[in-house]
Every structure is written in structure tokens, then in C-alpha cells.
Structure 1
Amino acid sequence: MKRVLMRIGGLLAAAVVVGAVFVWLTASGGPLTAAISAQTPTQLPLVTLRAADAMLGQISASGNMAPVDVSHVVLEVDGAVQEVLVKPGDRVTTGKPLLRLDTSDLEQAVLLAELDVATAQNTLAQLRTPASDLAVMEARADLAAAQQKLADARTPATATELAAARASVAAAWAKYRELENGPDAAELTKLEANLRKTEIALQEAQRAYDKIKWAGDAGASREGADLQKATIDYEAAKADYQLATAPADEAELQSALSQAHDAQQALDDLLAKPEAADIAAAEAQVAAAQKRLDDLLQGADELEIEAATIKLQRALVTLGQARRELAKASVTAPIDGHVLTVNVQEGQQARAGAEVMTLADLSNLELIVAVAEVDISKVALGQPAEVTIDALPGRNFTGVVTRMEPVSSDGGAVSYAVTLTLDGDLDGVLPDMTAVARFVDASVAGGWLVPTAAIQRADGVATIQVQRNGVLRSMPVRTGAAQGEWTVVYAEELQAGDQVVGAVSTTTPTSRDERANIMRSSPGGGAPPVRLGGN
């Protein structure tokens, strides 16, 4: 173990020595610098400068096109779908009907509410209108009748009333007993004698008529008239006899018994007069009649009018609610645009809160991309970007960041939704098309990528050896971020096409074509590092 530690220490010491020697050799005026200056440009390892923002500063993120204005049509009331008036892809304008619901129940609710309002208005109007002379007269008559009834209730029954009531009782019971027992012998004998008498009279009239019936006017003769009368008398006597001898049925007996009980109750009521319950009932009727008359004469008081007014207001509120519910059943387009989805069918019972359709304005689209957590700090509102759409090859678009979500979107990898508004002609661009946005990191704008080993430092000043048009010169630079063997440098004199003296040991171009171009233009064999955030 001790040997291993000694070897590691030796290697570190050697590395430090080598580094110190390299700095001495490459310092301004050092031997290596002098040797490089003595070489011809074709003998030096050269790497072509690359703009830093084209390599390190590019952040790519993919996403999909989406409408800016999307409206979800949600039902506000329950109802059966009678008719769907649009289909996906249809263009609609604001206010256009989208579907029809069965509104029969809602319409009935409005009608009932209107009737309640009319009733409340009539009641209030009656309270505010003075009573008519006819109404006062009727109220006075009702009061007089109630007062007379009270007087009758307080007055005992007279002898005449009692006698009449007793006679009614006797007659009712006599009729019941007659129906129950039938006629007595004397009555039956009388009926039989009358029947026999009318029968003989009929026979005599028949013999008298038979003597003249050969005459042409026999029907108009006295004998004919006598025969007709005798026939009627006989039929009447026969009917009286049959009724008297026929047994009474149960309905007749019950009716007669009920009449007898009623007559008896009337007699008992007269005998009980005056009765306290009758007097109390009559007094209540007098009080009610008096109050009605007083109300008509005095008119409604303020409390009654206020109560009627409140009732009318409540009815108006209910009517307004019913009308609003009916209006909610009218499903119309809230925006100009196209129908994206239809989620109901005719005959379906839809519930309030259900999303029945989705509309969007396809003329106003935006791009929503997912930016990785390592790159989100390099993106800001208002930052421009270049956009390409997979379905539209060869067309390039520009956009600007208009919205950034503060929390990560769902998924395994952490990313943040960034929204871009595109510029220019968006003809042919449709929702959900896949697109790629390329952002530029402002921190590396204006910088150039050079091999880290090409930077020479002396007295706190960094310089690089630049070849331009075959002439090699030393140029002071300001250094920036470093990535591996590459460093970002800044100098106003640097320009595209310049080459710097230096080399790198690895090449990681972003594409095969880019690697070939770099190799052709870089005699030193160097290539810039992979782009940060690239896909």
C-alpha cells in the first residue's frame, strides 16, 4: 500500500513539473514561443475559430404546436341531447348553436314562475285597490246572516217548532214501519175493493163500446171515451194494489230509517237549545264576517302590503332563475374557430359540468416545448429562437419565449414547459405538429471557441497566436467558460475564418458533415465540443 501511495505521489510531482515547464516554454518570449514564431504557417498546427454561440450556446428542445385560444364547451344544466349541429373540423363563429337540448322541463318551470308572478301582482293590486260597493254590500249581508244564526242559536225552540219536529218524527217512523210490515188489513181491503170496482167499471164500458164499435166514428164516441177512462182507472188501481202488497227492498228500508233518524236528531237539537257549541260556532262566524267587513272598509294595512310585496319579489327572483336556467340550455360557440372534438351523441342524457365539445382558433398557434432541467436556466422570457417543424421540411420559423412554467411537467425526466410565439406566415402549420426550437445562450454571444492549450498568459494578459491571410500575429483576448480542451475567448478583432495556433486530442462534432468540414478547415485536426442541450 505504501508503494502505491509513493508511485501516485511521484506521478503527481512529475505532472506538476511538466506543467511548469510547459508554461515556461509557452510564455511570452519563451523558447517554445520563439520556436513557433520561427516556423512557417504551413508547419504550425492550426484550428479554425468557431463562433461559441453556434456550438456551446445552442439549446434544443422539442414539442408540439398548440392553439393559443382553446375553449372547452361545458354544459351548465342537465338535459337530453336532441340534436348535435356540428362535427369535428367544422368552422364556427361566436354565438353559433352547437347542439340542442330538450328544454321542455325548463320551459315549464318558466311558465309556472310567470304564473306565480302574475298571482302575486294581482294580490298586491287588490290590497292597494279600495273595496267596491258590491263587495261591501256582500260583506254586510254575510255579517247579518251570521248574526241571525247566532240569535237563533241563543233562542230556545218554540212550541210550534217542537210540534212540527215531533210530527216529522212520527211520520218518518210510520213510513218506515209501513215499509217494514206492509199495509194493514183495512188498507188492503180498501185497495182490493177499489181494484174490483174499477174492474167492473171497465167491463161495463167495454160492453157499451162493443155495441157501437161497428160505426165508423166509434173511437170518437162517448162510449169510446168511457172505455178509455175505465181502462186508466183500472190500471192505476192495479198498480196501487201491487205496490201495497209488494215487499219493500233493502234500499227503501234504509232510506226510510235514515229519514227517521234525521227527524229524531232535529227534534233532539230543538229540545237541547240553546247549546253552547252551536253558540260558539255562530259567534265565530259573526267575528269572521265582521273582520271581513272591517278589512274592506279600512283597506289593507302596511304589513299586508309589505308581505305581498315580498311575495312578489320572491316570485320575480324565481322567474329570473328559471329564465337563466333556460338560457343555459342554449349551447353556442364561445369563440371563432374550428371544432376539435365532439363528446356527445343525440339521445344521450348529459349532465351539468360535462365537457361536450372543444373549440380552437387554428389561425393563432404557439409552440410548447420541454426544456431539460440543465438548460432551463439558460432560457428567459423574450429570448428568440429558431424553429423547425418536422412536417414542413425546408421551412424555418422564428419565435420568442412568451411563457415559462415554474414547475416541472409530469414524466420521468425533469423538464419545464416553455411556450414560444411564432412569427411570420404559419400557413400549413396545424395543432400537434412536432417541432424543434433552438435557443441561443446570451452568455456566450460574441465569443469564439479556441483550444485551451492555445492560450498564452503573461503578466495577467491572455493572448493567442492568430493566422489571417497567411500572416501570424499575437492577439490579446478575454477568456470565458471552458469545456474540456476548449475555451471561449472574446476579442473584437477576431472574425470568422481566423485560425489559431494549437491543437486538441479529441474531436466531437455534432454531425458527420460538420466533422468533415472542420477537418478540412483545421490542419491541426481539432474540432469544437458537442453542443450543450443538443438532441
Structure 2
Amino acid sequence: MSTSRFLSKLKWLIVLLAVIGLGAWWYISRNNKPPAATITVKRGTIVQEVSVTGKTKPVKAADLGFDRSGKVVSVAVEVGDRVNAGDPLVSLDASDLTAQLASARANVDAQKARLEELEAGARPEDIQIAKTDVAKAESDLNNAYSNVPNTISDAYNKADDAVRKQLDAMFTNDEYQPTLVFQTSLSQSKLDAENYRAAATASLNAWKAEIASFQGLQPGVASQPTWDTALSQAIQHLNDVSRLLTKVMDAVVDNIALAAATADSYRAAITLARTNVNTAINTVSSLQQSINTQKVLLQRAKDALALKQAGATPESIAAAQAAVRQAQATAESIVSQINKMTLRSPISGLVTRQDAKRGQVVGVNSVLVSVISDANMEIEANVPEVDIGKVALGNPVDIVLDAFPNETLTGKVASIDPAETIVDGVVNYKVKVAFDKADARIKSGLTANLSIRTLEKNNVLLIPSYAITEKNGKTYVLIPEDKNKNKEVEITLGIRGKDGNVEVLSGVQEGQRVINIGLKTK
């Protein structure tokens, strides 16, 4: 019994000692907390980078087609062929243009010969030929005028026959007070016929007097104006007679109680008279036209002679020179068109597309051949708008190609597009990166991971980003003050580096230690 009590007391004593021991350990541990880990603010170099992914592409590339349609007659390359700048690729049929070029060059030669002729002046033989042309033209004109007297006389006779013979049976007292021998239903028809008959008599008498005045007129230049007047007057007299015949025919048609046979004979006489008068009018008019034509030919011959005798004027030589230049320009234009009938590579590189086939008819501006420059590649990438403000021309770039993951190549930012490019609804800006060194292994379309070094600063204060806390839009670090207390200090940050460090502009000093909190408080 006493043994059991002893064991029970011993157990409680052990428990009590354990509680006391744990309490003492807690108290000691609380007051002997090990110091927190710290980081020293130090100076160094920080590099800001923008990382994007792009694709390699040739610096120069060309999609080629014809600016006119035609039939393919020659194909000089296939896909994969290497070409030099200026090499022919595909040709169209240019036979029509070749013929046009031959004609154009012949015209150039003709215009040059004309210019040389003007500059040399007329030869004596040419002047003599021109004089002969003038003499012939004068002779032809005189021959035409020599027909005037007979023509006018014949016209007068036809007019006189029409009035005084063919109409004689229809009038009484013809020459002094003509009166129709029949009545008309319209008094005006009878009156018109009688008045025009009297006018025709007067016209014939005047014409006869004019013809008499021409007797003894000598042919030649001096008499030509007189004969011109005589022809014009003859036309007037014939028209007077023609009008009379029209009025008498109207009266016959409008007759009263005239026997049908008589009326028919009157109409036949008037028709005959009209035919003769119209023939006379046509003969006189034809002679007038012939004389006018001969006058024009004579004047042209005289002008040609004067031009040859005077020699070429500065204006005519200038015009001939202009004609030569125009002919040459036409020929050069055709040459240019012929040259365009052959596609030539504008760059040295590789053919990546060739769709032309011999005999095929191709359309305007259809892409047939594509050539890329394989010697010079560049990288094209899209930079988001949040980062584009950091990127500048000439920024150095580290390049890792998926095709060569263990190599880092270098380059520089070569261009930045000023206009935005929308990719999946996000604003980006196209940036091109040029390689520092050409590499024959690089082909078009390779994926490139770019690290653009946009800014580098030396001798600046640096701390790791995981030592920074943020609250209410401000940044802080914790600085230890004593064994159990830390002080929160606001700092101003600069750029963030690719290695995780951050530039500190103010708030701490070099050598100062900050707590490595590894936290970010919102």
C-alpha cells in the first residue's frame, strides 16, 4: 500500500517538473530569438531588358510579276535555285514589240535624215525642180482659164434656148410684157410666171452684153480676175433662168382648161429646159472648182520654191530636232516595254516560288516568282505597348534561336514601326533586329527569343526585389534597429534588372542592411 502511494506521488512530481521545464524553455526561447536574415545594400551595375519572341526573315525579299499580260516563252529558274541580281527568271513573248521597235528605229533614221537635209540647205537640183513645179502649176491654171469663154458661151446658149425657145409657146409678147397663154386656178401662179419671165429676159440681155465685153480679152494673169467675175455672173444668170422654169412648171400644174396633150408638151419642154440649165450650172461650177484647185496648187509650188531658196529657218530646224527626239523617245519606250517582258531578280538570293509554265498566258500583276536574300537575315518581333517606350534604335539584343538553343547570338534594334499593329486585340509595335554577324545557318522563319537591353546603369544602389514590400502604392524595406525591433523605411525605386535586382534611388545608403523578408504586402 505504501509502495503504490509512493509511485503515484513520483508520477505527479515528474509531470510537474516537466511543465516547469517547458515553461522555462519557452521563456528563455522568447527572449533569446535568433536575429533575422539581412541583405546589404551595395553598388553595382543593373541592366533593364525587354523579352519578346520573333521570327527570322530575309532583309530583302521580292514577289515578282508582269505589269502586262502575255504568253510565257521561257522559264529560267526553279524553286531552290540561287540567283544573282539581274538574272532573268521568266520571259514573255515580245515579238509584237520587237516589230514595233524596228519601225520606231526606222522612223528615228528618217527624222534624222530630214534634220540633216534642213541643216544642209536645198541643193541646186532641188531648187530647179521646185521652179519646174511652179511653171507646171501656172500652165495648168492658164489651161483652166482658157476654157472659160467657151464654157460661158455654151451656158448662155442653153439658158437662151430654155427661155426663148422651150417656153416660147407658153407666152405672148415675150420680150416686153410676157403673158401666159393659159389661165391658172391661183392668180399668183400666173403672176409669178410672167414676172420671172420678164426678169429672165433682162438677165439674158445683161449676160449677152457681159459676154460681148470679154471679146478680145487676152489670156494671162491680168485677165484672171475678169474671168473669175464672169464665171460668178454666169452662175447668177443661170439661177435666174432656173427659178423661171420652176415658176412656169407651177403654173402649168395649176392650169385651167388646158388640153392634156398641150399641158404634157409644156411639161416636157420645161423638163428639157431644166436639164440643159442644170447641166450648164454644173459645168460652170466644176470649172470654178478646177480653177480654185489650180490656184492652191500654184501657191503651194511657189511656197515650196521660196522655202528652198530661203533655206531652213531656225524654227524649222528646231521642229525637226524635236521630231528626232520624239522618235527616239518612242523607240526607247518600246525598248523599256521589251525589257519588262522579262522578269529579272532585283536581289541576289534563293528562289522560293516559281509558278510560271512555258506556253501559259499570265495576267497582270500575278505573282509568279518570289526571291529572298539568304545572305542577310533579320528578326521581326512585336513589342507590347507597355514596353515599347523602353526600346530605342541601336539597343543591343541577345538572341537565342530555337534551332540553336545552346548559342547566344547578338544584334541591334534596326527599326521600330511608328504605327501600331493589333495582335489578338492587343496593341503592339513591330520591331526589326539586325544580326551583328551574318550566319549561313540562319534561314527564314526560325523562332528567335530576344532579350533587348534597353538600359544599363553603373555604380547604382542595388537590392533584391524580394527584400521589398509594397503598401498603398509605395515601396518599403525593413531595417533592423535592435535585437527585437525592425524599422519600416520608404524607398524610391529606379529600373528593374534582368537578374532580379532593383535600383534604389533614395531611402537607404550603401552598406546599410535590410531585412530579407521575401514578402510582398498588398
Going from structure 1 to structure 2, the CA distance change for 1:93 and 1:149 (only over 3 Å counts) comes to same
Q: Is the 8 A contact 1:73 1:355 kept in 2?
A: yes
Note the 1:298-309 alignment, pairs <5 A. 298-300=306-308, 302=313, 308-309=320-321
Q: Equivalents in 2 of 1:479, 1:115: separation in Å? A: 85
More strand, by proportion? 2
Give the match for residue 448 of structure 1.
463
Is 1:287 aligned with 2:300?
A: no
Q: Is the 8 A contact 1:65 1:435 kept in 2?
A: yes
CA shift, 1:74, in A, is: 4.5
CA shift, 1:353, in A, is: 4.0
Going from structure 1 to structure 2, the CA distance change for 1:296 and 1:317 (only over 3 Å counts) comes to same
CA deviations on 1:145-171 (whole Å, 9 max, x unpaired) are: 5145325413539xxxxxxxxxxxxxx
Going from structure 1 to structure 2, the CA distance change for 1:150 and 1:488 (only over 3 Å counts) comes to closer
Q: Equivalents in 2 of 1:397, 1:273: separation in Å? A: 104
Note the 1:463-474 alignment, pairs <5 A. none
Is 1:67 aligned with 2:81?
A: no
CA deviations on 1:259-307 (whole Å, 9 max, x unpaired) are: xxxxxxxxx99x9799533542442354245334423432256466665
Q: Equivalents in 1 of 2:31, 2:430: separation in Å? A: 53
Note the 1:239-254 alignment, pairs <5 A. none
CA shift, 1:354, in A, is: 4.1
CA deviations on 1:44-90 (whole Å, 9 max, x unpaired) are: 44679999988x94432001011122234343444322222112222
Q: Is the 8 A contact 2:138 2:298 kept in 1?
A: no
Q: Which runs of 5+ in 1 are unaligned?
A: 1-34, 158-267, 456-460, 466-473, 508-535
Is 1:419 aligned with 2:427?
A: no
CA shift, 1:118, in A, is: 3.7
CA deviations on 1:197-225 (whole Å, 9 max, x unpaired) are: xxxxxxxxxxxxxxxxxxxxxxxxxxxxx
CA shift, 1:122, in A, is: 4.6
Give the match for residue 122 of structure 2.
129
Going from structure 1 to structure 2, the CA distance change for 1:368 and 1:306 (only over 3 Å counts) comes to closer
Q: Equivalents in 1 of 2:307, 2:374: separation in Å? A: 68
Aligned residues: percent identity?
Answer: 22
Q: Is the 8 A contact 2:131 2:305 kept in 1?
A: no
Give the match for residue 391 of structure 1.
403
Is 1:89 aligned with 2:76?
A: no
CA deviations on 1:160-183 (whole Å, 9 max, x unpaired) are: xxxxxxxxxxxxxxxxxxxxxxxx
Q: Is the 8 A contact 1:83 1:346 kept in 2?
A: yes
Matched residue of 2:147: which SS? helix
Give the match for residue 408 of structure 1.
420
CA shift, 1:337, in A, is: 1.8
Instruction: Number of aligned residue pairs: give it.
Output: 341
Letter in 2 for 1:65: T
Matched residue of 1:277: which SS? helix
Is 1:435 aligned with 2:448?
A: yes
CA shift, 1:377, in A, is: 2.4
Q: Which runs of 5+ in 2 are unaligned?
A: 1-28, 152-275, 471-475, 481-486
Matched residue of 1:480: which SS? strand
**TM-score normalised by L of structure 2:** 0.53
CA shift, 1:433, in A, is: 0.3
Q: Is the 8 A contact 1:478 1:489 kept in 2?
A: no
Going from structure 1 to structure 2, the CA distance change for 1:499 and 1:357 (only over 3 Å counts) comes to farther
Going from structure 1 to structure 2, the CA distance change for 1:126 and 1:280 (only over 3 Å counts) comes to farther
Q: Is the 8 A contact 2:87 2:345 kept in 1?
A: yes
Q: Equivalents in 2 of 1:372, 1:326: separation in Å? A: 48
Q: Is the 8 A contact 2:392 2:454 kept in 1?
A: no
> Which consecutive aligned stretches of 4+ in structure 1 deviate over 6 angstroms post-superposition?
35-40, 47-54, 271-274, 491-494
Going from structure 1 to structure 2, the CA distance change for 1:125 and 1:292 (only over 3 Å counts) comes to farther
CA shift, 1:106, in A, is: 1.7
CA shift, 1:102, in A, is: 1.1
Matched residue of 1:397: which SS? strand
Give the match for residue 143 of structure 2.
149
Give the match for residue 503 of structure 1.
517
CA shift, 1:327, in A, is: 2.6
CA shift, 1:452, in A, is: 4.0
CA shift, 1:389, in A, is: 0.5
Q: Equivalents in 2 of 1:276, 1:343: separation in Å? A: 76
Give the match for residue 99 of structure 2.
108
Note the 1:349-364 alignment, pairs <5 A. 349-364=361-376
Letter in 2 for 1:106: L
Letter in 2 for 1:284: N
Note the 1:215-294 alignment, pairs <5 A. 276-294=284-302
Q: Is the 8 A contact 2:469 2:520 kept in 1?
A: no
CA deviations on 1:102-145 (whole Å, 9 max, x unpaired) are: 11122222223223334444555556424526624642563365
Q: Equivalents in 1 of 2:40, 2:67: separation in Å? A: 67
Q: Is the 8 A contact 1:454 1:502 kept in 2?
A: no
Q: Is the 8 A contact 1:386 1:397 kept in 2?
A: yes
Going from structure 1 to structure 2, the CA distance change for 1:454 and 1:104 (only over 3 Å counts) comes to closer
Between stretches 334-343 and 430-439, larger displacement belongs to 334-343
Q: Is the 8 A contact 2:383 2:430 kept in 1?
A: yes
CA deviations on 1:456-508 (whole Å, 9 max, x unpaired) are: xxxxx98857xxxxxxxx9x99752599xx983559967xxx9964333589x
